[in-house]
Amino acid sequence: MTRVINLLYVNLGLALLQAVLTFVFYAQLVAYQAHGSAEAYSVFENTTWIRPVAVSLVSLIYVGIARKLRAGSRATYIRVVVIAVVGSLGLAYAISTGQFPLWMETLMGAQAVVLVGLFVAAMQPSVRTLFAKPRSTGLDCW
């Protein structure tokens, strides 16, 4: 269980690092994405800040997720598995678009690897047992 929570926080740390670097290198990132097009520059100028702000807000939720995992919440466990799968696929797609500079793709790749590790850790029998669905006794219908 500790490994799952640690990987959750590593993922959060990488996402926050990416958010900070996006703010620091905002102008260069927008210029890279626009490829010299003034129209595209305007679009990216208005949308590039959305991801780091969203990541910053989600970071507050991660603390609650870790707390609920420690408390044994099955619903939170399922959310963590979904985050790992959807997040790694989303990052792989983002990398494949070629819209980001190498430093950002590298961070995204590292984050995707952590999310795959999170999935693998969450699927370990010892962890799955902690969040197993309660078995019915057969007397539930009365």
Domain for residue 138, yes or no? no
What is the model's pLDDT at position 92? Answer: 96
Whether 104 maps to a domain, the answer reads yes
Asked whether residue 136 is domain-assigned, the answer is: no
User: Is there a domain that residue 142 lies in?
Assistant: no
Q: What residues make up the domain containing 119?
A: 2-129
**Residue 96 domain flag:** yes
Report yes or no on 45 lying in a domain: yes
Q: How many domains in the chain?
A: 1
Per-residue pLDDT of the chain (142 residues; tens, 9 = 90+): 899 999 999 999 998 898 899 889 988 888 888 887 777 777 777 777 787 788 777 877 888 999 999 999 999 999 999 999 999 999 999 999 988 899 999 999 999 999 999 999 999 999 999 998 877 665 555 5
Q: Give the pLDDT confidence score for residue 138 in this predicted structure.
A: 58
Residue 21 belongs to some domain of the structure: yes
The C-alpha atoms of residue 117 and residue 105 are separated, in whole angstroms, by 18
- Does 137 map to a domain? no
State the pLDDT at residue 136.
Answer: 65
Alpha helix locations (H) across the chain?
Answer: 2-24, 26-34, 38-47, 50-70, 74-96, 102-122, 125-130
Q: Tell me what pLDDT residue 139 has.
A: 59
**pTM for the whole thing?**
0.84
